[in-house]
Structure 1
């Protein structure tokens, strides 16, 4: 091998280059102190050091490198002091040694095949490039970084020497211009020197050992590390038990209180022996375990922080404090509870709509009923948009996650956060914009169209205009009462519907309304199911919103069915059948929404549904008021809007504090 290296030496370095001479001299002084050249004995020392630095070296290969190679190279010149590797051979020799450190298995196979020299030549050309000015191989910082990364696979430092970086090595070769390209032989020689020493070789600067404690102290903002600073550090790491009883204790200003608290901890030490890896420890318990507060002083200092660090890491890895917090989540529901509560909520919504239909059939006070319906419509607009903007949209964007959907220390809603979140104010401004433009358009409509009210001939309303549909139904009902008794109302309606010839549109309309209502109820069921899969609070908010808009919606659809010529019984059956679609959507959502991502996607669809129904379907019916007392209707609409928004706002502000 070295006979070949002698021929390649002129290709990689300038004979007598000061940088190469310095690297060569450093290696000679390290392995053979007092000598001027690398002798055969020095080579044995080099190979022995290399074998100890390789992490996965094999015994046959080590014997091959240590004996046969050196003897073959030295030949008959094995006398003491005979030069085996001269200065001109040193660059390629250093490259061959570094190739062994980076790829020992490859080198072992190459030695047996007599190809170590060829492999070394390819290794050099991979790291270096030819300088056009003098034709010599040079290496830049990026090439040295590649070499260091390759060394990390098998090179094993002794762990006692300090680390040297790529920039440090380049500066050793040429301190005046470490960023410039350097002689390949000098760079490789310096790397070989440091690896023979067993030093850590890094591609980038590494901090000192004290950096980590310095960073923690700077983060805490003090050099006086006490139990108070430990609590602050643990809070930032989401460690320590979060008990309501601890919230009333203030140990920051009273050291004597801390000492008394330690007495209680000593009495509780016995419980730490059972399931210690799952025990969430407080700051005082950690101090007591490490014996740092035995002398009555709570000043821990840097040594105390260093001793406590493994315990903090253990608390994070075990997840003990996370499990404690999750186990006390007040809104967490089991699978059975999700299905039970969601079914009850959906049943209440369906029954409320049916009760409203019965009231529609039985009521005789037309004007009061219209006012109630308009109030319900405005309440539905407020609850739908409020739930979509204040609750569902933040959850979809990850701004508000419930405790059972968070893990580890990544909490989007911190238990210790005081005051409403910032996004809530911005969403309130969004609702304020909706309300301001509603007021402006409604007031303009009242002021400009007050003289245009007439009831002579009115066009047939769109089926989405729930108030208008119900008003028409009530007017027809009043006209029938003027000519016939209430007891014969249902019979006469059926008789008239059979006698008059229905148009094709009137025959198809009931089925179109029923299909549309079924799809709408299916979407409502999806919304309720996804909400209860998140938490009972989310389910409550969505159920309120669905209930508020479902009552006027179902009443309007029922009135359309009667107006199109259906009998009361048939209209009730179609309405009840469409209502059952909500249970299909409910159970699909509960079965599918098993992870946070799925819940967020369903909530995103629900947000779009609620915003569309509230703003595009129901809000336009509030703007153009056609009533004999328009200002009273306007006040009731405002009361319903503000009440719906207020309920959802209070639920968003205080839902984390509500518990059963």
Structure 2
């Protein structure tokens, strides 16, 4: 290529780039003029306010107000909730945490130290119905559709990527408990995860029964169970207690470790309960109240089961009650964390005045969501895990007596129906 042809090529390329820059600049100016003439983009709240001025929507609002006037008297449930939760979302969340943490711990004083966790089947089934009812009847509809207004019709504006992120938050909550349960099973050598403490008790009882069935017997006249311990080790069976030379029972260290690990898991679980309190009350008073009821019913068998496990692990009754009180502080910690996230991280309802316009990327990944909006779907994911994977296997356990198991199954299904029915009644009313 000659020098003159090279110069011509360079000149042509420069001219092409100059023309391209002119075209891009013209398009940018045109876009700015169109944007200025059409006005700024509206937020979701502004769009909803515009829709409320539509004649059809106003007619629907009038019909709704006329229908609600016929049943204007408040129900006993709504009056009770108004008394129990009279303050702001933050105050109500703290009150709810005290409600779900205080009474169950005081009930432990009435529990005998030799209580069997497996005897809590009916109460656990009732708690499952409450948790699943709260998740399916209250949390999930609130997450994707929002709360219904008493004096106007609700128009749902679909934002596809927003719904996808909410689904991701639900899955993250579910998998968080999967990871916690799996980690606890690894730490305890597969003895069981954090499922109300029942699986721990079952595992230890089964180990003791297996040791007895394998023909392990004591033979030392001094009362030392050395042969029992050795034979159990050969057969892969871990006994829960041994007897020393003085005839005193000593708890196996692995069982004590299981008790302490369960305390850690209980503390973590209570943190998620606290997050649920804050997220639900910031979503709406109704969701907060129903979530409080569901968690309260769940906490009673939860606390009693963990109390029984601690006693089986060598704790005295007073020490077990003290340990459960310490873990209850995790719920208060979770509530305070949730309140901080809602207040500092933003919430689409509390920050409605400064909502980001559609088309702008001030929310999470270009949506209208904030970090505070992610707490409620995270809570729904944890509730789904606790109500299904963590507890349902206990209800599926059966024994050799078919008639007894059928009777227990009917009782458990009835308890699930009652728990879910309470949640449905509160939501319906």
Q: TM-score, normalised by structure 2?
A: 0.54
Contact kept? 1:395, 1:401, Cα under 8 Å: yes
1:321-347, Cα deviation, whole Å (9 max, x unpaired): xxxxxxxxx99x999432343233222
Change (3 A) 1:508 1:526: same
Contact kept? 1:466, 1:621, Cα under 8 Å: no
Contact kept? 2:133, 2:420, Cα under 8 Å: yes
Matched residues in 1 for 2:153 and 2:95: separation? 35
Of 500, 521, 541, 2:270 maps to 521
Of 282, 285, 288, 1:533 maps to 282
Change (3 A) 1:384 1:500: same
Q: CA RMSD in A?
A: 4.8
> How many positions carry a matched residue from both structures?
286
1:81-101, Cα deviation, whole Å (9 max, x unpaired): xxxxxxxxxxxxxxxxxxxxx
1:294-345, Cα deviation, whole Å (9 max, x unpaired): xxxxxxxxxxxxxxxxxxxxxxxxxxxxxxxxxxxx99x9994323432332
Change (3 A) 1:630 1:356: farther
Q: Hey, what does 1:650 align to over in structure 2?
A: 425
Q: Structure 1 residue 520: deviation in Å?
A: 0.3
Select the structure of larger CA radius of gyration: 1
Q: SS of the counterpart of 1:606?
A: helix
Of 543, 565, 580, 2:329 maps to 580
Q: SS of the counterpart of 2:315?
A: coil
Return 5+ residue gaps in structure 1 as ranges: 1-121, 127-141, 154-230, 250-329, 414-458, 477-492, 655-660
Change (3 A) 1:641 1:235: same
Q: TM-score, normalised by structure 1?
A: 0.37
Q: Structure 1 residue 382: deviation in Å?
A: 1.4
Within the alignment, does 1:351 sit opposite 2:172 as a pair? no
Matches within 5 A, 1:65-76: none
Q: Structure 1 residue 599: deviation in Å?
A: 4.1
Q: Structure 1 residue 465: deviation in Å?
A: 6.3
Q: Structure 1 residue 577: deviation in Å?
A: 0.2
Change (3 A) 1:498 1:511: farther
Contact kept? 2:148, 2:154, Cα under 8 Å: no
Q: SS of the counterpart of 1:617?
A: coil
Q: Hey, what does 2:48 align to over in structure 1?
A: none
Q: Structure 1 residue 620: deviation in Å?
A: 0.5
Q: Hey, what does 1:600 align to over in structure 2?
A: 373
1:602-629, Cα deviation, whole Å (9 max, x unpaired): 0111011001111111111001134863
Q: Structure 1 residue 562: deviation in Å?
A: 1.0
Return 5+ residue gaps in structure 2 as ranges: 1-14, 35-51, 71-80, 158-189, 209-240, 349-368
Q: Hey, what does 2:397 align to over in structure 1?
A: 624
Within the alignment, does 1:381 sit opposite 2:128 as a pair? yes
Matched residues in 1 for 2:411 and 2:106: separation? 22
Matched residues in 2 for 1:510 and 1:385: separation? 28
Matched residues in 2 for 1:382 and 1:336: separation? 29
Q: Hey, what does 1:236 align to over in structure 2?
A: 57
Q: SS of the counterpart of 2:111?
A: helix
Q: Hey, what does 2:413 align to over in structure 1?
A: 638
Q: Which has the higher contact order (CA 8 A, sep 6+)?
A: 2
